[in-house]
Structure 1
Amino acid sequence: MGSRRLNVVSYLGSQALFKDMSAPELARIAAASSVRRLSRGEEMFHAGQVCEGLYFVIDGMIKLYAKAPSGQEKVIEVIGSGGCVSEALMFSEGAHSVNAGVLMDVQLLVVPKDVLVNEIEHNAGLAMRLLTGLSRRMNGLVKDIEAVTLHSGVKRVVDYLLHSPVVGDVRDAEKDLTVSLPASKGTIASLLSVTPEHFSRILHDLQAQGLIEVERRHIHIRDAHGLAQFS
């Protein structure tokens, strides 16, 4: 994680959420915001905790997850650089419904909720952009629920590999491609709602068919067209 001092005003200005905001507006938000660094294994917040603001992931990686009384975890989302967390709670008084843990040393920019709410009240464009991002995330979660309830574990794994930004459109893939898992296989398995053992077995079977080659966290796609038949 870099140690270079962050120019908060410039960073905010580069985010789509704050598009078209004036320099004084950005400076006002920046003055109230804070940069926070957390190490792998630390917690950002817990379910039931009052939301303090909007979190921007400058670098590093976090996971949003639910935790059962037994200690079992279900990963809901993995968020890396450029992502943000807690948009929905900007419009309510509710507490966090999930936990957030650090997968990779992370640098965060925290914009206090009261500051952001005040800006929203005076900036309809900001409110609409926040709602657009929230809608996009909700649609993604609905698709995740659909995949878990209607699709097999194999299809979920294959869809995850083929929908990686690294792969793009498999119809245009004419050479070997590599997908690097952004987190441990156990974390990705939980994200896809399969057990770690099932996830490993699926990868092994796909490799046995010559469709992929597994090298730790790197999945080399040898036959994108063949793999797409599962999707």
Structure 2
Amino acid sequence: MTDNAKNSNPFGRPWKIAAGFVVVILAIVLIGVLWPSRDDGQEPAPEARNTAPSSDPEVNDPGPTSGSDGECPELSTDTAMPTSAPDTSWDRHPVGMIVPTNDDHGPAVQDDTFWGCYSQTPTGSLFAGLGMLSNVSAGETEATTDSPNRDAFMDLHAYDGTGSLPTVEGYRIIMATAEEAVIEYEIADPEAQAYIRLNLVWSEDAQDWRINLDTNQNAVEVGQITDPSAYISWR
């Protein structure tokens, strides 16, 4: 068994993913031994775990409700990899999930249950992943690419308001370019540590990140973490 056991096909599992996250996180422990091993092993760990300032999500002011003429405003163009945790405010998405926000990287638009307009940068994709999953859980199809699998994906990840929503503690960026990104988020729970991996793609039409349903890999993948040092602390 390599560093991280993974669920190569999260669709059809008996536990539900709510707001893009495992609701019954203990199930990861119970079925972890059944998951196939990684072919390539875990990515090297960062030199040190880092923390970023955060604020109380209950007291943060809401962001703008729309962009000018429906277009995204100008955001950061800094393409450096966030090897330490970026400045972050943790705000409550209408679906109930606490998601990261940043003035320079987005979401610049918080329009009801769709939060969008993220920077076309590695840091922008880092913020966008959790925001887009929350959008999906709220029923916003715009958060994904237009794919024949979209309806099934939306049904699987819809949140019905039941179950607990675990806490995102850290991240690691598997890859990030101007066009695509693969991000893993560390989820902490008293019973287990898990990651959720998202595949994102830049939409030229929307000028924003979208969950990539057209990839040959799973758009969303959940697995068990055995090496927490591989993740950069975000809180």
Q: Relative to total residues, which structure has the larger helix share, 1 or 2?
A: 1
Q: Which has the higher contact order (CA 8 A, sep 6+)?
A: 2
Same fold (TM over 0.5): no
Q: TM-score, normalised by structure 2?
A: 0.24
Which protein shows a greater Rg?
A: 1
